[in-house]
Amino acid sequence: MAFRGLCVLALIAFACSFVAAAAVLPVEVAGEAGTVASVTVQIPPGLGSEVRSLWMQIHGLEYADMVSVRVNQCSWLALNNQTVTVADPGRSYGGIGGGFATLKMTLPLAPGSVVEGSNTIQFRFNRSDGVVSGFRVLAFNFLTADGRVILPPGAFVEEDPNAWAPPLNDAENISAGRDLWERARLTANGLPQAPPIHAHCADCHTRDGRDLKYFNFSNASIVARSRFHGLSELAGWQIASYIRSLPFPNPGRPWNPPYQPGPGLDAQPIANWPAGAGLKWVLADDADTFPFLATPAAFRPDSDLNPREIPLAFQLPDWNHWLPRVHPLDFREASFKSSAFSQLYETAPGESAVFFDKWSKARNEFLTPHLTPASKKWTPELAEALYSAQLWQLVKTWESLQIEPGRRFWPNAIPAATAPVEVGIPNGTSGMGRTALTNEYFNNAWYELQVLLNSGNHRHHGRQPVDWLYFAGHMLDLQRLSETPEPGRLLVAVAKAMQSTDPAIGPDNYAEGWRLERNPDPRILVAKEWAPMFRNLPRDVKQALAESLLSAWLDKTLEYPPASYFALGAKPAAYALPKDLQEISGGKVWDAAPQFEAAGVSPVLIARLNAWGKSWTALAELFHY
């Protein structure tokens, strides 16, 4: 490991005869390039010489060398994927510059960097890429060679947002802040010669600014962002004062991904649901999901597995990554203003499924003219503009459903429609994050959010609100790119796919009933193409999962007479699947009987499967399937 220099100034250690003040977290660094924030901690006697590294959890570290760290008078150390070790699962999704907005990492320190007594750590914002205006250090500690932490929990204290007040707490400044929020002219970013933009603060955020209040963006961060968009410092303080004065709940934090699942989430007030379960429930290993799946009815199609309460080793996007980088006004001003996509929001925002279906179609009509044959030569700029239009709709949907929150349910499929692939953005250098891996992470993230907000709830229609097979296919794509299997997350989706059907509607109803070709079937656990997803599962675990899934699928399938699967009537249009999806859907599960037998599935269950296969085959010949 190369260092930028060793300490050149020896500090004199001394024993403190007083109780040191706790370091306040997070350490927020926001503003212009070169902005520095410092924090001082006390190292107990005899431990300074044991320090070998600095562990950090940082929110908003978006690209290499954006941040540098200095301990005492040592050299500044830039943070990138070569100078730090990023912890999994963040490392698997690209580390610094990848998909996760918050990362845990370890920075090696030169001998003598840390001493007994007082030690100062400085965090510097080196430069902006025209999007970012700062970052937050959520936690840090010094580590010994064997990974022991040096600083006790009492060395830190969390800042309480409820103690914040409007910095200019008078009606005139608060009113001025609201006016600026709604009408101030902004520039695109804080870089030199940044062009003016048409959008105002209220256009990309919620109309009234409640998102900044809800997720507790600090006064300092609001001021820094106002300056970033070309406003004065006074204007920033006025906007911050307006946001602080809003009478809305504020359970969230900027780094806690909205709707992140975890145990106990449903026990909280429903107003807290969008704040999510917190980063503490982003698991370090997908295998840790399985204890939450180990219920007798987990895969039963007529049961109700609650994905909101099942933690994942998958971090959903933070609020910053919900916000559009290019407002549709600044993509195509005239066509946006005259579009139904814009006018439906301005004139009739609603909460009904009918409204959201109409609004989604309007979005497609607005974006379709820009997806000309020439646009198949994707550029990062075009991809960003179209993706931002999707994000704009997502944010405004959140806004409309926050006005009167009363249910843990979104009556639409807008989260899934936010995936880059939904407008054809390809994995690669024109995709989000400019890499296939990060673009595919966002595909997965928005499909995952759809499952959490509306997975069908036994009321699906066709392939809405979730196209389960394509969602599973994107999980496989992400596994190939990240080389990180997620069998737990995949099987939660498989369970919810089977539970998206009304228990009272049979297979003769093609749109809403139990149809074998619509969802992943139990072969997903034994199919060759999917073996990498389950490669780390112990044999006994895989056997138990295969038996549970196959048993649940068979019990449901055999509820209906075999002939009902061949009922005459209106059928859906042909639905061509890629090869690796064809082998996990369609109902011919009996073809995989040898694979189930090799996985240890009981002979009794395999006999039931083969009997069903014979019945199906005989009828298929009769109906010419």
Whether residue 580 is predicted with pLDDT greater than 80 in this model: the reply is: no
- pLDDT tens across 585-614, in order? 987 899 999 999 999 999 999 999 999 999
Residue 573 has a CB neighbour count (10 Å cut-off) of 5
Q: Please name the helix (run of DSSP H) or strand (run of DSSP E) that holds residue 162, with its range, or none.
A: none
Q: Give me the sheet containing 67-71, strands edge to edge.
A: 36-43, 117-125, 67-71, 77-78
pLDDT (0 to 100) of residue 572: 57
For 46: left if phi > 0, alpha if psi spans -120 to 50, otherwise beta; the answer is left
Would residue 60 count as lying in a domain?
Answer: yes
- pLDDT tens across 183-217, in order? 999 999 999 999 999 999 999 999 999 999 999 99
Peptide bond into 311 cis (omega under 30): no
Q: Judge if 145 and 173 occupy the same domain.
A: no
Q: What CATH number is attached to the domain comprising 34?
A: 2.60.120
Q: Judge if 100 and 78 occupy the same domain.
A: yes
Tokens of 116: 């007994």
Burial 577-590 (b: 16+ CB within 10 A, else e): eeeebebbbbbbbb
Q: Judge if 219 and 133 occupy the same domain.
A: no
For 276: left if phi > 0, alpha if psi spans -120 to 50, otherwise beta; the answer is left
pLDDT band at 510 (very low <50, low <70, confident <90, very high): confident
Q: Judge if 107 and 195 occupy the same domain.
A: no
- pLDDT tens across 288-327, in order? 999 998 777 899 999 999 999 999 999 999 999 999 999 9
Q: What is the mean pLDDT of the chain?
A: 91
- pLDDT tens across 216-253, in order? 999 999 999 999 999 999 999 999 999 999 999 999 99
Q: How far is CA 436 from the centre of its chain?
A: 16
pLDDT (0 to 100) of residue 374: 53
Q: Judge if 99 and 171 occupy the same domain.
A: no
Q: Which of 3-12, 65-74, 262-271 has the lowest average pLDDT?
A: 3-12
Q: Which of 139, 159, 179 is the last residue of a domain?
A: 159
Helices (H), 136-209: 171-183, 201-204
Q: Which of 159, 187, 217 is the last residue of a domain?
A: 159
Whether residue 375 is predicted with pLDDT greater than 70 in this model: the reply is: no
Q: Judge if 56 and 155 occupy the same domain.
A: yes
Peptide bond into 572 cis (omega under 30): no
Would residue 63 count as lying in a domain?
Answer: yes
Tokens of 217: 């963006």
121: Cα within 13 Å, side-chain hemisphere: 26
Residue 260 has a CB neighbour count (10 Å cut-off) of 25
Whether residue 2 is predicted with pLDDT greater than 70 in this model: the reply is: no
| Contact of 204 with 327, CB cutoff 8 Å | yes
Helices (H), 42-187: 171-183
pLDDT band at 517 (very low <50, low <70, confident <90, very high): confident
Would residue 491 count as lying in a domain?
Answer: no
Nearest of 530, 504, 511, 537 to residue 585 by alpha carbon: 530
Nearest of 246, 128, 110, 95 to residue 178 by alpha carbon: 246
Residue 31 has a CB neighbour count (10 Å cut-off) of 21
Per-residue pLDDT, averaged over 469-480, amounts to 96
pLDDT (0 to 100) of residue 386: 94
Helices (H), 215-268: 219-228, 233-245
Whether residue 52 is predicted with pLDDT greater than 70 in this model: the reply is: yes
Whether residue 571 is predicted with pLDDT greater than 80 in this model: the reply is: no
- pLDDT tens across 120-173, in order? 999 999 999 999 999 999 999 999 999 999 999 999 999 999 999 999 999 999
pLDDT band at 404 (very low <50, low <70, confident <90, very high): low
Q: How far is CA 385 from the centre of its chain?
A: 20
Would residue 200 count as lying in a domain?
Answer: yes
Per-residue pLDDT, averaged over 540-546, amounts to 94
Helix 603-623, helix 539-557: angle, nearest 10: 40
Q: Which CA distances in Å does 184 have to 2, 19, 196, 235, 238? A: 47, 47, 11, 9, 12
Give the domain range for residue 133: 23-159
Would residue 130 count as lying in a domain?
Answer: yes
Separation of alpha carbons 410 and 413, rounded Å: 8
| Contact of 446 with 259, CB cutoff 8 Å | no
Percentage of the residues of the chain whose pLDDT score is greater than 90: 81
Q: Judge if 108 and 234 occupy the same domain.
A: no
Q: Judge if 145 and 167 occupy the same domain.
A: no
Whether residue 445 is predicted with pLDDT greater than 80 in this model: the reply is: yes
For the chain, the domain total comes to 2
Q: Please name the helix (run of DSSP H) or strand (run of DSSP E) that holds residue 53, with its range, or none.
A: strand 51-59
| Contact of 568 with 525, CB cutoff 8 Å | no
Separation of first and last alpha carbons in the chain: 63
pLDDT (0 to 100) of residue 8: 36
Whether residue 530 is predicted with pLDDT greater than 90 in this model: the reply is: yes
Q: Judge if 206 and 79 occupy the same domain.
A: no
Nearest of 77, 108, 103 to residue 91 by alpha carbon: 103
Whether residue 80 is predicted with pLDDT greater than 70 in this model: the reply is: yes
pLDDT (0 to 100) of residue 10: 33
- Residue 616: Cβ-neighbour burial (10 angstroms; 0-12, 13-18, 19+): buried
Q: Judge if 118 and 237 occupy the same domain.
A: no
Q: Which of 159, 187, 212 is the last residue of a domain?
A: 159
Would residue 395 count as lying in a domain?
Answer: no
Nearest of 460, 453, 575, 461 to residue 517 by alpha carbon: 575
Residue 403 has a CB neighbour count (10 Å cut-off) of 12
Q: Judge if 154 and 114 occupy the same domain.
A: yes
Q: Judge if 171 and 72 occupy the same domain.
A: no
pLDDT (0 to 100) of residue 14: 34
